[in-house]
Copies of this chain bind each other. A is one copy, B any other.
Amino acid sequence: MLRVLQRLPRKLALPSPHHNIRCASTTFEYLDIEDTGNEYSIVRMHRKPVNSFNLDFIKEMIEAVDCCEKTSRGMVLTSSLKVFSAGLDIQELYNPSEDRLQEFWNGFQELNLRLHSSPLVTVAVINGPAPAGGCALSLQCDYRIMAEGKSIIGLNETHLGLTAPLWLCKVFAQVVGHRLAELHLSLGTLLPPEEALSIGLIDAVVPADQLMDSADAEMKKWLAIPELGRSRTKGLLRKEYIDEFVSKREEDAQMFTGAVKDPMLQDVLTKYLQALQKRSR
């Protein structure tokens, strides 16, 4: 009986109303989308120098998710720079207007929510360092593949005197468990690939030149599962997280904007930006 089960077509013949829709009409400044022709798309981020997220980039990312949902069943998220993403653009946090800061954080919440709740199969290909917000986006995906070698991933918000938001702490804890979440979030640990793999923060480590082949193989495995059961299962397992995220969204924004406007943090950012300027001279 089991053998019969395995011989059955694993993919339900689903109506695919979107095969003629293209994302080509949309022009992106900070990313590009490649339709692989294998039912999934590749989103490559390229906001120089380190894919840090300012408001415009976040808006493009949300649009990219929208676009993939209309044209594909899966999305690979990666970077065409040497860094996967360094996280939030510090410029957005430095002496911002109240409105801008609100809109910025609202956008980042939205992007994370959209990724977490997307019916797409989402695979993060972490080709380079992924601290803070870079790690965050990868945590919202279904599967994480990281390049071998000198790189890091983790939530190091505490190093700047900041706190990762509750919804980010929670997805981190879902992935590595509560004990290690407390440990690594407190210490702001940035883990090399092998260590990240050993605690489940990522799902696979491969040589850099095999990243996209690995992602392709993994994506095919996921896309071979009947769409209906897979996407509903994802929805069912993530519903509570999403509901709590949404219900605490306002509270979270207040906590974030309050922390950013704290003079002590602004002081840290001033020194940080000065150090960056000296270094780039």
Contact = CB atoms under 8 A, between A and B. Distances in A.
Contacts of A271: 8
Contacts of A185: 233, 237
Interface stretch (A25-33, A63-71, A218-226): A218-226
A135 to B, nearest CB: 13
Chain A interface SS verdict (over half): helix
Contact of A279 (B4, B182, B275): B4
Interface in A165-200: 166, 169, 173-183, 185-188, 200
Given A4-B279, A177-B177, A221-B187, A163 B236 contact: yes
Contact of A173 (B8, B228, B232, B237): B237
Contacts of A40: none
Given A143-B183, A179-B174, A200-B179, A4 B276 contact: yes
Contact of A229 (B163, B174, B177, B178): B163
Interface in A257-281: 259, 262, 264-265, 268, 271-272, 275-276, 279
B5 A159 contact: yes
Interface residues of A, number: 68
A131 B226 contact: no
A59 interface: no
B225 A158 contact: yes
A21 interface: no
Interface of A: 1-2, 4-5, 7-8, 10, 12, 49-50, 83, 86, 129, 131, 142-143, 152, 156-164, 166, 169, 173-183, 185-188, 200, 203, 221-222, 225-226, 228-230, 232-234, 236-238, 259, 262, 264-265, 268, 271-272, 275-276, 279
